[in-house]
């Protein structure tokens, strides 16, 4: 009996995959050239990319940075022996105007400082992983850097020294201790630095003061109004019940702002005069205008939108129908009609003789507009929440506001983050519409620059520059929303 | 077992309005209503006293006065001696025109880009991402003024088409002229036209509807109905015998032949634009303001629609594709029978709001001088008559009506394709 085996006893050695399936070639075969359709698409796309790059790069690379007019640009380009090229002279000459509009040149440090401080103020709100020391370090760094651009003098030098020392100390603490050690220390009860959100809250009052100037006591008085409201609520809550205390806590500050704040500010100004040179709104322009309108409207529209969404979801019939009418009306009309209302009608609606600032009017309308959209986004989040969450909140015995604050809103807002951020982005882009009612935002400025005889006929450079300005903001906002979604994701895996 | 009884009802006390949850909601609502009514009353009384100071009593009489301005892009006849109401009507039609054109092109481009962005082809997917991010992240107003500027600066003037050796030539066999004043495209004409219907007599809202157009549309609708009947018959035969009869040539014939017969009967021909003097004559003239607005709105909205389409397709779980493949369906059938019907349910609601956005964004026409409702009623009419309150109010109501109509129609469609849960 022969011993036959049909089963292989020794394994074949492993072999390298064929070169056509690995590396660059394999990747290309898999991703770019699998099938004739895909190959055709690849070739077309490559042709488009080549056409774009070949058209743009030589145009882009043009030595016209110092040209003073479109004519000069053309001469320079002709000398360089090129068919066409960008005329960067217009950007060189006008970029400060595109950023600040007609804001007085010697005061432009103020909006710049406000802009950088805005980021410092936003960091503790936006990012959880930045430590308190890092936040304060950034704040001191911005202030320290700003002192070098400001007016000189003994006070400035002292300030520089103080800030410099503070900066050095903070930097040392950041470098010297690492995160884990610090976390352990904090657990043991080491005193922490104050919460940077304090600065964020203060910045709300600081920003208008830096931008518009005037007496320092006006924003202080406005801030004082909030303190008064809080004090009234704390004192009266125990005495007359929460609802009455809440009503009084809203009424008192309003009375303070309407009647006493002006008196307070002028009295304090007489005692301790300090202020910045006032800048009227009509000088605002360029990106400064867009950011001012955008940021203010964004900050106010979120709470307003949440209230409207709650109103629309509520069981109270009148509140609900008022919210629905408001939301549907605002969402049914274009923003430009609301801006027309701001520019020609708002003064008719208000008591005779009232005449307030066009920027403020635009901000009001933009806020209302964004709030209606925000309300629908938040409502989507509320609707997406399982009913069990509401019932669980009720079962725990929470009252309406506690249930909203502790159970419903954190989840509903998380669901609606992408929508909220895209509303913000939309609002920021929509700030350009103010150019139609004659404000000089980047697009309005572009139009007037193109009307200048020196730059008549400029198209690509100017609009490209404006597009880039907006792209930087909106693109980073959308990336931030993706980051936030990742951070707040609680599912496993 | 204990029985739970309601606490004995005490007499009504005033404090119960605040502290009793049965009455509190009513109290809050009434306070809210009074507050809102007071606010509205305050605004109205302010408005009344302000208008009285200005000597302008609110009235809509200006709508009947002669407008006195020209509208260069219009769908219906209009002279500058017509009334403001007529001008506003021209504006409304222009708004609807650009909105309809924009919605169609934006959907086509958007679906195309959205599907290609999901392509496994790396280069194509990246290129489409680039498109979407560029258009989404830049304000639409900038796109509109930019497109307008590009059209004006880069296209040839009409007089450059003149002469023995012209600097510019017409496209597509001398039928389409792209100039910096606008596009001239061939115009459908009928040599044996059956005329127009005049609606609304001599009122400011009068307009003509071409009977030829109605005949063509009616024929097309009838043809498509018959084609769908053929498809249904094929379905029946397939269900009964398992063999699907070949029907595409029948369907094609049903759609093409009656239309061709009708067009031949009406004497259909294309009127080509031709250079006469310093400008083109004949054909349909689309001003560059219309083109710029249309292009910019389409490309901008298409970027959003692409994202919606992509999200809709991604929302369908992979198991659906695999299950369809396991049933033996071919890839194209998987797409048309399994993926698309489900994806459409996800896609349509946000698509509606994109259409609404496009319609509302068409009000930016005023930036390039396209005479839509914002340009006529809320632009020139407002400036000429000084009736801010009335014009803006009417304008807002018109936009509100358009928006609510679009969302109503699309919601009806949405209900039709919605998932029927049992």
Neighbours of A385 (CB within 10 A): 16
Domain of A294: which CATH number? Answer: 1.10.3720.10
**CA A136 to CA A142: how far, in whole Å?**
10
The answer, for B150 touching chain A at a CB cutoff of 8 Å, is yes
Average pLDDT over residues A304-313: 92
A339 and A467 together in one domain: yes
Phi and psi for A194 in degrees, rounded to 5?
Answer: -60, 155
CA distances B70 to B80, B164, B252, B366, B381, Å, are 5, 35, 45, 15, 11
Average pLDDT over residues B44-59: 84
pLDDT number for residue B97: 93
pLDDT number for residue A433: 92
Give the residue from chain A lying closest to B379, CA to CA: A340
| Segment among A283-287, B16-20, B129-133, B175-179 with least mean pLDDT | B16-20
The answer, for B259 touching chain A at a CB cutoff of 8 Å, is no
Residues of A in contact with B30 (CB under 8 A): 318
Average pLDDT over residues B254-268: 87
Asked if residue A41 lies in contact with residue B126, where contact means CB atoms within 8 angstroms, the answer is no
Q: Do B120 and A332 touch (CB under 8 A)?
A: no
- Given a cut of 80, is residue A180 above it in pLDDT? no
Residues of A in contact with B361 (CB under 8 A): 334
Helix (H, G, I), strand (E, B) or coil at B184: strand
Q: CA torsion B188→B111→A52→A429, rounded to 10°?
A: 100
B64-161+274-417 belongs to which homologous superfamily?
MetI-like (1.10.3720.10)
- Given a cut of 50, is residue A384 above it in pLDDT? yes
Report the residue of A55, A318, A468 to disrupt the B interface, i.e. the one with the largest count of B CBs within 10 Å. Answer: A318
A255 and A167 together in one domain: no
The answer, for B384 touching chain A at a CB cutoff of 8 Å, is no
What ranges in B118-139 are assigned the alpha helix state H?
122-136
- Given a cut of 90, is residue B157 above it in pLDDT? no
**CA A288 to CA A133: how far, in whole Å?**
29
Q: Do B18 and A241 touch (CB under 8 A)?
A: yes
pLDDT number for residue B346: 84
Q: Report pLDDT digits (tens) over A190-215.
A: 777 788 888 888 888 888 888 888 88
Domain closes at, from A146, A164, A193: A193
The interface residues of chain B toward chain A in range 394-413, judged by CB-CB distance below 8 A, are: 395-396, 399-400, 403-404
**A42 within a domain of the structure (yes/no):** no
**A91 within a domain of the structure (yes/no):** no
Q: CA torsion A260→A261→A263→A268, rounded to 10°?
A: 130
The continuous run of DSSP H or E covering B285 comes out as strand B284-287
Task: State the pairing for strand pair B196-199/B274-276.
Answer: unpaired
Residues of A in contact with B36 (CB under 8 A): 322
Q: Report pLDDT digits (tens) over B356-390.
A: 999 999 999 988 888 889 888 888 888 888 888 88
**A425 within a domain of the structure (yes/no):** yes
Domain closes at, from A159, A193, A227: A193
A263 and A289 together in one domain: no
A372 and A264 together in one domain: no
Token pair 């801010």 is at which residue? B388
Q: Which domain holds residue A247?
A: 214-276
**CA B82 to CA A101: how far, in whole Å?**
42
Average pLDDT over residues B50-61: 82
The continuous run of DSSP H or E covering B268 comes out as strand B268-271
**A466 within a domain of the structure (yes/no):** yes
Of A468, A459, A313, which Cα lies nearest the Cα of A381? Answer: A313
Residues of B in contact with A331 (CB under 8 A): 356, 403
The answer, for B115 touching chain A at a CB cutoff of 8 Å, is no
The interface residues of chain B toward chain A in range 273-302, judged by CB-CB distance below 8 A, are: none
| Segment among A70-84, A106-120, A419-433 with least mean pLDDT | A70-84
Asked if residue A307 lies in contact with residue A409, where contact means CB atoms within 8 angstroms, the answer is no
| Segment among A143-157, A273-287, B26-40 with least mean pLDDT | A143-157
pLDDT number for residue A493: 46
Q: Report pLDDT digits (tens) over A316-335.
A: 888 899 999 999 999 999 99
Q: Which tops the pLDDT comparison, A126 or B217?
A: B217
- Given a cut of 80, is residue B276 above it in pLDDT? no
Q: Point out the residue among A32, A329, A457 whose CB comes nearest to the CB of B121.
A: A32
A151 and A218 together in one domain: no
Q: Do B403 and A332 touch (CB under 8 A)?
A: yes
End-to-end Cα spacing for chain A: 59
A233 and A327 together in one domain: no
Distance from CA of A492 to the nearest CA of B (A): 19
Contacts of A59 (CB under 8 A, 6+ apart): A84, A85, A86, A460
**A70 within a domain of the structure (yes/no):** no
Residues of B in contact with A466 (CB under 8 A): 142
A271 and A303 together in one domain: no
**CA A385 to CA B349: how far, in whole Å?**
19
**B274 pairs with which residues across the strands?**
B281
**A8 within a domain of the structure (yes/no):** no
In chain B, domain spans: 64-161+274-417, 187-271
**CA A246 to CA A240: how far, in whole Å?**
10
pLDDT number for residue A10: 82
The answer, for B43 touching chain A at a CB cutoff of 8 Å, is yes
The continuous run of DSSP H or E covering B146 comes out as helix B140-154
The total domain count for chain A is 3
Burial status of residue B256 (CB atoms within 10 A of its CB: 0-12, 13-18, 19 or more) = exposed
pLDDT number for residue B6: 61
Q: Where are the beta strands (DSSP E) in B317-385?
A: none
pLDDT number for residue A146: 82
pLDDT number for residue B285: 84
**A48 within a domain of the structure (yes/no):** no
Q: Do B360 and A335 touch (CB under 8 A)?
A: yes
**pLDDT band of B96, cuts 50, 70, 90:** very high
Burial status of residue A337 (CB atoms within 10 A of its CB: 0-12, 13-18, 19 or more) = buried
Task: State the pairing for strand pair B268-271/B187-190.
Answer: antiparallel
**A172 within a domain of the structure (yes/no):** yes
A270 and A299 together in one domain: no
**CA A7 to CA B282: how far, in whole Å?**
86
- Given a cut of 80, is residue B150 above it in pLDDT? yes
| Top-ranked range on mean pLDDT: pick from A254-263, A370-379, B181-190, B380-389 | A370-379
Give the residue from chain A lying closest to B147, CA to CA: A459
**B177 pairs with which residues across the strands?**
B184
Percent over 70 (pLDDT), chain B: 95
Residues of B in contact with A475 (CB under 8 A): 133, 137
**CA A276 to CA A274: how far, in whole Å?**
7
Q: Do A336 and B366 touch (CB under 8 A)?
A: yes
A266 and A403 together in one domain: no
**B207 pairs with which residues across the strands?**
B199
A348 and A469 together in one domain: yes
pLDDT number for residue B422: 54
Token pair 């936003």 is at which residue? A122
Residues of A in contact with B349 (CB under 8 A): none
Q: Do B138 and A471 touch (CB under 8 A)?
A: yes
Q: Report pLDDT digits (tens) over A396-431.
A: 998 888 898 899 998 888 888 888 888 999 999 999
Average pLDDT over residues A176-196: 78
Q: Point out the residue among A31, A336, A352 whose CB comes nearest to the CB of B120.
A: A31
> On the CB side of A232, how many CA atoms lie within 13 Å of its CA?
20
**DSSP at A193:** P
- Considering only the C-alpha atoms of chain B, give the largest distance between any 2 of them, rounded to a whole number of Å: 108
A123 and A158 together in one domain: yes
A374 and A233 together in one domain: no
Q: Which tops the pLDDT comparison, B162 or B299?
A: B299
Distance from CA of A484 to the nearest CA of B (A): 19
Q: Do B149 and A459 touch (CB under 8 A)?
A: yes
pLDDT number for residue B3: 60
A466-472 long-range contacts, CB within 8 A, separation 24+: A466/A98, A466/A442, A466/B142, A467/B138, A467/B142, A467/B146, A469/A98, A469/A287, A469/A442, A470/A290, A470/A428, A470/A429, A470/A432, A470/A442, A470/B137, A470/B138, A470/B139, A470/B142, A471/B134, A471/B137, A471/B138
Token pair 């950011």 is at which residue? A291
Contacts of A182 (CB under 8 A, 6+ apart): A131
Q: Do A345 and B43 touch (CB under 8 A)?
A: no
The answer, for B48 touching chain A at a CB cutoff of 8 Å, is no
**DSSP at B8:** P
Asked if residue B103 lies in contact with residue B353, where contact means CB atoms within 8 angstroms, the answer is no
Residues of B in contact with A329 (CB under 8 A): 400
Distance from CA of A215 to the nearest CA of B (A): 31
Q: Do B366 and A34 touch (CB under 8 A)?
A: no
Distance from CA of B218 to the nearest CA of A (A): 33
**CA A477 to CA A424: how far, in whole Å?**
8
Domain closes at, from A134, A164, A193: A193
Average pLDDT over residues B108-135: 90
Following DSSP, what letter does each residue of A398-448 receive, concatenated? --HHHHIIIIIHHHHHHHTHHHHHHHHHHHHHHGGGGGGGT---HHHHHHH
**pLDDT band of B243, cuts 50, 70, 90:** confident
Average pLDDT over residues A358-366: 89
**pLDDT band of B8, cuts 50, 70, 90:** low
């Amino acid at each position: 009996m022969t011993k036959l085996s049909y089963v292989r006893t020794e394994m074949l050695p492993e072999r390298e995959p064929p070169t056509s399936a690995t590396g660059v070639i394999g990747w290309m075969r898999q991703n770019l050239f699998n099938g004739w359709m895909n190959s055709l698409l690849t070739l077309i796309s490559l042709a488009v990319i080549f056409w774009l790059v070949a058209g743009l790069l030589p145009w882009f690379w043009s030595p016209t940075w110092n040209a003073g007019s479109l004519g000069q640009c053309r001469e320079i380009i002709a000398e360089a022996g090129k068919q066409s090229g960008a005329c960067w002279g217009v950007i060189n000459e006008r970029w400060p105007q595109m950023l600040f509009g007609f804001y007085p040149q010697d005061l432009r440090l103020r909006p710049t400082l406000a802009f950088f401080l805005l980021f410092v103020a936003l960091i503790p709100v936006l990012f959880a992983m930045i430590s308190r020391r890092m936040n304060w370090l950034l704040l001191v760094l911005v202030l320290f850097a700003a002192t070098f651009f400001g007016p000189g003098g003994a006070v400035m030098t002292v300030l520089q020294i103080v800030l410099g020392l503070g900066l050095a100390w903070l930097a040392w603490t950041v470098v010297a201790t690492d995160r884990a050690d610090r976390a352990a220390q904090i657990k043991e009860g080491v005193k922490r630095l104050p919460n940077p959100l304090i600065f964020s809250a203060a910045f709300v009052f600081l920003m208008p003061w830096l931008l518009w100037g005037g007496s320092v006591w006006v924003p202080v008085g406005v801030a004082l109004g909030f303190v008064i409201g809080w004090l009234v609520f704390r004192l009266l809550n125990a005495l007359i019940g929460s609802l009455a205390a809440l009503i009084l806590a809203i009424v008192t500050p309003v009375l303070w702002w309407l009647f006493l704040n002006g008196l307070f500010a002028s009295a304090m100004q007489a005692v301790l005069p300090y202020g910045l040179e006032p800048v009227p709104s009509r000088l605002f322009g360029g990106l400064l205008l867009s950011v001012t309108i955008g940021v203010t409207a964004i900050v106010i529209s979120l709470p307003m939108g949440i209230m409207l969404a709650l109103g629309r979801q509520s069981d109270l019939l009148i509140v609900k129908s008022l919210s629905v009418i408001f939301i549907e009306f605002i969402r049914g009309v274009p923003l430009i009609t609301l801006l027309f209302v701001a520019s020609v009608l708002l003064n008719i609606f208000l008591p005779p003789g009232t005449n307030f600032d066009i920027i403020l009017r635009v901000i009001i309308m933009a806020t209302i507009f964004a709030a209606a959209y925000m309300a629908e986004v938040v409502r989507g989040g509320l609707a997406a929440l399982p009913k069990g969450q509401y019932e669980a909140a009720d079962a725990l015995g929470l009252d309406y506001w506690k249930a909203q604050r502790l159970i419903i809103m954190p989840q509903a807002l998380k669901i609606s983050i992408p929508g909220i951020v895209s509303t913000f982005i939309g609002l920021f882009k929509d700030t350009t519409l103010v150019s139609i009612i004659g404000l000089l935002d980047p697009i309005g400025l572009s139009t007037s620059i193109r009307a200048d005889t020196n730059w008549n006929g400029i198209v690509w450079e100017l609009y490209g520059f404006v597009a880039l300005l907006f792209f930087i903001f909106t693109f980073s906002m959308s990336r931030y929303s993706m980051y936030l979604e990742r951070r707040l994701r609680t599912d496993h895996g | 077992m204990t029985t739970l009884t309601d606490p004995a009802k005490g007499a009504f006390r005033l404090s119960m309005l605040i502290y009793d949850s049965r009455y509190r909601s009513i109290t809050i609502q009434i306070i809210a209503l009074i507050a809102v009514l007071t606010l509205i009353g305050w605004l109205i009384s302010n408005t009344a006293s302000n208008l009285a100071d200005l000597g302008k009593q609110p009235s809509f009489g200006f709508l009947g006065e002669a407008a006195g301005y020209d509208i260069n892009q219009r769908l219906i006849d209009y002279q500058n001696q017509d009334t403001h109401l007529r001008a506003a009507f021209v504006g409304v039609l222009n708004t609807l025109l650009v909105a309809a054109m924009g919605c169609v092109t934006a959907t086509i481009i958007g679906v195309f880009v959205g599907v290609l962005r999901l392509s496994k082809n790396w280069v194509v997917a990246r290129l489409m991402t680039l498109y979407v991010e560029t258009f989404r992240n830049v304000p639409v107003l900038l796109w509109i003024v930019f497109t307008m500027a590009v059209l004006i600066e880069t296209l040839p003037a009409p007089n450059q088409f003149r002469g023995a050796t012209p600097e510019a030539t017409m496209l597509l066999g001398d039928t389409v002229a792209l100039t910096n004043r606008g596009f001239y495209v061939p115009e459908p004409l009928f040599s044996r036209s059956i005329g127009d219907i005049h609606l609304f007599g001599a009122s400011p809202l009068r307009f003509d509807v071409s009977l030829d157009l109605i005949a063509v549309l009616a024929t097309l609708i009838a043809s498509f109905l018959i084609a769908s009947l053929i498809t249904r018959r094929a379905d029946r035969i397939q269900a009964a015998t398992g063999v699907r009869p070949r029907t595409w040539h029948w369907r094609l014939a049903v759609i093409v032949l009656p239309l061709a017969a009708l067009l031949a009967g009406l004497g259909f021909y294309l009127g080509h634009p031709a250079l006469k003097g310093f400008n083109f004559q004949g054909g349909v003239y689309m001003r560059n303001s219309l083109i710029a607005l249309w292009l910019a709105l389409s490309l901008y909205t298409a970027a959003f629609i692409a994202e919606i389409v992509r999200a809709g397709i991604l929302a369908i779980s992979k198991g659906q594709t695999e299950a369809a493949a396991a049933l033996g369906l071919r890839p194209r059938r998987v797409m048309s029978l399994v993926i698309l019907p489900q994806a459409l349910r996800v896609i349509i609601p946000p698509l509606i709001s994109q259409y609404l956005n496009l319609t509302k964004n068409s009000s930016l026409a005023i930036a390039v001088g396209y005479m839509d409702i914002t340009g006529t009623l809320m632009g020139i009419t407002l400036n000429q008559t000084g009736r801010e309150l009335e014009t803006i109010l009417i304008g807002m109501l018109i936009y509100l009506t358009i928006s609510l109509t679009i969302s109503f129609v699309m919601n009806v469609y949405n209900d039709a394709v919605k998932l029927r849960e049992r």
